[in-house]
A and B are shown apart, each in its own frame.
Chain A
Amino acid sequence: MKIDRRGFLKIGGLGILGVAAKPVIDVVSKVKLAEASAKKGVLVEKRLAMVVNLKNCKDGCTDCIDACHGVHNVPYIANPKDEIKWIWTEQYEKAFPDQEHRFIGGGMKGSPAILLCNHCDNPSCVRVCPTKATFKREDGIVMMDYHRCIGCRFCMAACPYGSRSFNWRDPRPFIKKINPDFPTRTKGVVEKCNFCEERLAKGLIPACVESCKNKALVFGNVEEPNSEVREILRSNYTIRRKPGLGTGPQIYYVV
């Protein structure tokens, strides 16, 4: 085949045009994909959340803490510097510092509030993790991959709720009875509540919710309008911890 100068320039020009058009086509096709997946999302939307009814929470009861720490091999270390906690209690006015005032009534002042990881919509811990050991699942659970945790503790600095604990020492000797079905952690990793994702996978509800006899803890999908959590959120006034920080905490409190 013989090609003259004019023909060569024509073919070359067409080729360059094609290469230049590719990014434009990519963008257009991505927009279409995003639209499609957003539509699909509406049908299967799932957002796990918990409602803590502080009115039902009995002073001195530690059923939920014992259940959680038992199944997850959370060590009991008395020294507060080294302590590990997935779910714990704190005085109401310390848990909700923005709600604090001199005349708190309704029996709330000094009464214990159940605290755990808020499984935020916009989790600051996930944002700072340099190894992506902490990540957010599609159903909203903020999870940890302990295999990837390098123990830098950025997440602990980022979490405004103190939901994360660092293993300063080997936790095994401090676990009363090891549950062989769930791993322990090791020295040098951060740990926190996982919303019982291993139990959810088996179709069970979280251990803390199951153990509560007074129905102070309710767990479910907030995107499902007929769910129990939504019913409680509809019929009660609820607050969240430090919502002004923009993390979008998903533990709601009935006070």
Chain B
Amino acid sequence: MNNRIIIIAGLIIFLCLITFPIWYNVVGGKAAYAPELKIVSEEKQCVESTKYMRAKHMQLLNDWRNSVVREDKRTYTALDGKKYDMSLSNTCLKCHSNKADFCDKCHNYVEVTPTCWNCHVAPEGNKL
């Protein structure tokens, strides 16, 4: 074990390098950055509560899609009894017409690329 010092020093340098992105963000003060979303709608409430939508909008959209395409059922009854037309383009995007400042900001932050927009037409208002 003659090389103990070299090995330990090497390990420490390696650990420093591999955790560099974390250090860098902590030093730069960007560690706790969260995306800020803009909502342009005058509506006070989405189809469900903000908490639910934030966590479950993908499942909701999947359910809507299956219901409309495969079962021809197009009306969604929300928890509060309000009824909505199940349509990404015609219901969701009527309020969230600023895709770049709403959908994309979070999706970019968590690095997901949903394929919705390959087919569904994004609103013109807020282009990236």
Q: Residues of A with Cβ closer than 8 Å to B?
A: 73, 135, 137, 143, 145-147, 178-187, 197, 201
The answer to whether A183 and B72 have CB atoms under 8 Å apart is no
User: Does B74 sit at the interface, judged by CB under 8 A?
Assistant: yes
| Total A-B contacts with CB atoms under 8 angstroms apart | 32
Please determine whether A147 and B69 come into contact, CB atoms closer than 8 angstroms: yes
Chain A residues lying within 8 Å of B124, measured Cβ to Cβ, are 180
- B119 near A184: Cβ-Cβ < 8 Å: yes
B41 to chain A: which residues have CB within 8 Å?
Answer: none
CA of A135 to CA of B70 in the docked complex: distance in angstroms?
8
Binding site for A on B (CB under 8 A): 65, 69-70, 72, 74, 89-90, 115, 118-121, 123-124
State A137–B123 Cα separation when bound (angstroms): 31
CB-defined contacts of B118 to chain A, threshold 8 Å:
186-187
Q: A137-B72, A197-B72, A201-B72 in contact; A185/B119 too (CB < 8 A)? A: yes
CB of B60, distance to nearest CB on chain A (Å): 15
The CA of A182 and the CA of B90, in the complex, are separated in Å by: 9
Which chain B positions have C-beta within 8 A of A183? 89, 119-121
4 A-B pairs closest in CB distance: A186-B118, A183-B119, A180-B121, A183-B120
Among A135, A147, A187, find the residue whose CB has the most chain B CB atoms closer than 10 A.
Answer: A147
Q: Within 8 Å CB of B69, what residues of A? A: 143, 145, 147
Which residue from chain B places its CB closest to the CB of A147 in the assembled complex?
B65
